[in-house]
A and B are shown apart, each in its own frame.
Chain A
Amino acid sequence: MPTAISLRGLSKHFGQVRAVDELDLDIADGEFFSMLGPSGSGKTTVLRLIAGFEEPTAGVIMLGEEAVTRRPPFARDVNTVFQDYAIFPHMSVRENVEYGLRVKKVGRPDRRRRAEEALETVRLAGYADRRPHQLSGGQRQRVALARALVNRPRVLLLDEPLGALDLQLRREMQIELKEIQREVGITFVFVTHDQEEALTMSDRIAVFNEGRIEQLASPVELYERPASAFVAGFVGTSNLLQGRVARDLLGQDGTFVIRPEKLQMVAEAPAEAGRVSAPGVVREVVYLGAATLSVVELDAGPTVTVSHQNTDTSIDAALERRDQRVVVTWRRDHLVSLGSSDPAASPEEETA
């Protein structure tokens, strides 16, 4: 597949801070590509470098076959959906959407038609004559999307576009964005710090940490086979077993992670081959609606989180387990080995 964007040795330093550090990345044509990471990890800077709002300290940005590294934003075939939408408040919805065509001197009838089409694509047909202040947050977000899509750019850059929406609307927009992307077939580069959002929508995800890519993989691979403790902690919740604990429990050196839903709590250790069991005490039970999380302090030392689907009508049994002794058990092949990675790289807190 031809590449839409190639980054080679891309760096951006702000004074002493290396916001982006020697980045190499290829994004394929028509891909829904997400850049995921905590704030300050450099993902937004990469987006701004591609858009042309920042000049790189070093490296090359290729858009298709063209090197656009030093080109101003208006001479690049990319468009951006901004985090604050950046809708022009003094223009109507139609004028906003037509803006890009207007400055490129597209004729009025053609402009009209394409703006109508773009508004239809984002399900805002009939809103053309509204003023931005009459729109809700979700509608403004759609206007921003239409304003960018109407130019049919080679690549659409989205900078946390759903961040300001409430949860319900965000979930709807996630599905809709994915549909729109399939409809128009434009490469989407999507920046987010929300791992669920990235998993829901993306073809591939790059997890950023301190200006570098920690892992570049499909959502399934990222979740099931995290490459580092950082990725394991940032994407979903995970339990980390390392050092002496790994040796005691698993009889192996190294660092291992396992997802909470792969763990089970039982009364007695099963005598099944290929299973690992560890006794402990339930310290906390958290009811989440669809699932219940139990925090178990293992006798071997670490605390692990066990997720249990609430398929029974009553969860009283789970709640009663607080301060009870249990055995946590899991299949050996569910463990993901991180090799002997540097434990310092793991994030301070597990991110749910």
Chain B
Amino acid sequence: MIDRRPGLRVGLLLTPPMLWLGVAYLGALAALLVTSLWTQNDFTGSIERAWTLENFRTLFTVDVYRTITLRTIGIAALVTVIDVVLAFPIALYMAKVASPRLQRILVISVLTPLWASYLVKAYAWRGMLSADGPIAWIARPFGLDTPGYGLPAVVITLSYLWLPYMILPVYAGLERLPDSLFEASADLGAGAWTTLRRVVFPMAFPAVVAGSIFTFSLSMGDYIAVKIVGGTGQLLGNVVYDNQGAANNLPFAAAVATVPIVVMLAYLTAVRRTGALENL
């Protein structure tokens, strides 16, 4: 009977993954949003299932949360910009200049750091940035010093951690461009910079946006790197972590967690028109 009814066959085939997506994935998110509308009893610490916007009011009215929100968005944006600036030349070299052999080697070297534990890499940067670490040692002859632990260190560490997520989509995007487009531009009188500005960058832009979705959202949600190299600085992730861990105020943590979700949805809506989502 299944053979005769393609609709049934497709239905049976798709039900388990759709259930996973619907229940486990979106369901968890929905539960999060619902929780954010509940409240916590200050005295007993237990959750009270009464509908309230109290959590969001706190979030928007207390200065420190607004500051942390803006700081998180700012750091995510800065990390994204730094990754674009670093990744574009690397990706361009990999896609259009390097020999096929070198190309493979470079792809592997970009991927290799992803195999190492996130914690190890974050701690590696703690070592790099310490007062007597390699960066201080290199900077000292020039009269400079390590930035130490704080928000600059967070930006450096996050830019390092998410760089591969930018390089790979941009590389894939550039590799798809036929060489004849570069040749046509040169043939019509354009020098290397003009070709880059008028042909390569506009055509690679959707790929850059695709990469930025990774770097931006990963930065928005991060809370470990900032704990390890951020000194006393805090990001949204830390507020979530502290509220549901130490304070055990799950409703407020859920409210804070909706902020990155809303920011990301706004960002995705904005980039949808660039065609970047087809590049993921």
> Is B54 at the interface (CB under 8 A from chain A)?
no
Q: A86-B178, A88-B181 are in contact. Are A73 and B187 (CB under 8 A)?
A: yes
Nearest CB of B to A147, in Å: 7
* Contact residues of B: prevailing secondary structure: helix
Among B178, B180, B188, B198, the residue within 8 A (CB) of A79 is: B188
> Is B183 at the interface (CB under 8 A from chain A)?
yes
Complex alpha-carbon distance, A322 and B189, angstroms: 61
Q: Which of A60-68, A98-106, A195-203, A211-219 contacts B (4 or more CB under 8 A)?
A: A98-106
A86→B190 contact, CB < 8 A? no
Among B183, B194, B199, the residue within 8 A (CB) of A88 is: B199
A72→B188 contact, CB < 8 A? no
A74→B180 contact, CB < 8 A? no
> Is B18 at the interface (CB under 8 A from chain A)?
no
> Is A89 at the interface (CB under 8 A from chain B)?
yes
Complex alpha-carbon distance, A103 and B189, angstroms: 7
> For residue A76, which residue of chain B has the nearest CB?
B187
B183→A73 contact, CB < 8 A? yes
User: Number of A residues whose C-beta is below 8 Å from B?
Assistant: 23
> For residue B188, which residue of chain A has the nearest CB?
A100
> Is B280 at the interface (CB under 8 A from chain A)?
no
Q: Which residues of A contact B183 (CB under 8 A)?
A: 51, 53, 73, 80, 82, 86
> Is B202 at the interface (CB under 8 A from chain A)?
yes
Q: Which residues of B contact A148 (CB under 8 A)?
A: 187-188
B202→A90 contact, CB < 8 A? yes
B180→A82 contact, CB < 8 A? yes
Q: Which residues of B contact A72 (CB under 8 A)?
A: 186
A84→B189 contact, CB < 8 A? no
B187→A103 contact, CB < 8 A? no
Q: A86-B178, A90-B202, A103-B194 are in contact. Are A151 and B189 (CB under 8 A)?
A: yes
Q: A82-B180, A82-B183, A88-B181 are in contact. Are A104 and B199 (CB under 8 A)?
A: no
> For residue B203, which residue of chain A has the nearest CB?
A90
Nearest CB of A to B110, in Å: 26
Complex alpha-carbon distance, A322 and B217, angstroms: 77
Q: B159-187, CB under 8 A of A: which get 1 and which 0?
A: 00000000000000000001011011111
> For residue A80, which residue of chain B has the nearest CB?
B187
Q: B199-231, CB under 8 A of A: which get 1 and which 0?
A: 100110000000000000000000000000000
Complex alpha-carbon distance, A313 and B158, angstroms: 82
Q: Which residues of B contact A151 (CB under 8 A)?
A: 188-189
Q: Which residues of A contact B16 (CB under 8 A)?
A: none
Complex alpha-carbon distance, A100 and B189, angstroms: 6
A73, A79, A80, A100 — most chain B CB neighbours (10 Å): A73
A99→B186 contact, CB < 8 A? no
Among A52, A84, A104, A147, the residue within 8 A (CB) of B178 is: A84
Q: Which residues of B contact A74 (CB under 8 A)?
A: 186-191
Nearest CB of A to B94, in Å: 21
Complex alpha-carbon distance, A308 and B184, angstroms: 46
Q: Which residues of B contact A88 (CB under 8 A)?
A: 181, 184-185, 199, 203
> For residue A79, which residue of chain B has the nearest CB?
B187
Q: Which residues of B contact A51 (CB under 8 A)?
A: 183, 187
From 144 to 169 in chain A, residues with beta carbon under 8 angstroms from any chain B beta carbon are: 147-148, 151
Q: A73-B187, A103-B189 are in contact. Are A84 and B194 (CB under 8 A)?
A: no
Q: A86-B183, A88-B181 are in contact. Are A99 and B188 (CB under 8 A)?
A: yes
Nearest CB of B to A71, in Å: 11
Nearest CB of B to A70, in Å: 15
Nearest CB of B to A33, in Å: 19
Complex alpha-carbon distance, A146 and B2, angstroms: 57
Q: Which residues of B contact A79 (CB under 8 A)?
A: 187-188
Q: A80-B184, A82-B184, A90-B203 are in contact. Are A103 and B190 (CB under 8 A)?
A: yes
Complex alpha-carbon distance, A314 and B202, angstroms: 62
B183, B188, B191, B198 — most chain A CB neighbours (10 Å): B188
Complex alpha-carbon distance, A151 and B183, angstroms: 16
Among B178, B185, B202, the residue within 8 A (CB) of A99 is: B185
B residues in contact (CB < 8 Å) with A:
178, 180-181, 183-191, 194, 198-199, 202-203
Task: Give me 18 other A-B pairs in contact (C-beta within 8 A), A82-B184, A88-B203, A103-B189 excluded.
Answer: A51-B183, A52-B186, A53-B187, A72-B186, A74-B188, A74-B190, A74-B191, A79-B187, A80-B187, A82-B183, A86-B184, A88-B184, A88-B199, A90-B203, A99-B198, A100-B188, A103-B190, A151-B189
Q: What are 12 A-B pairs at a CB distance below 8 A?
A: A51-B183, A52-B186, A52-B187, A53-B187, A74-B187, A79-B187, A84-B180, A86-B181, A86-B184, A88-B185, A90-B202, A99-B190
A residues in contact (CB < 8 Å) with B:
51-53, 72-74, 78-80, 82-84, 86, 88-90, 99-100, 103-104, 147-148, 151
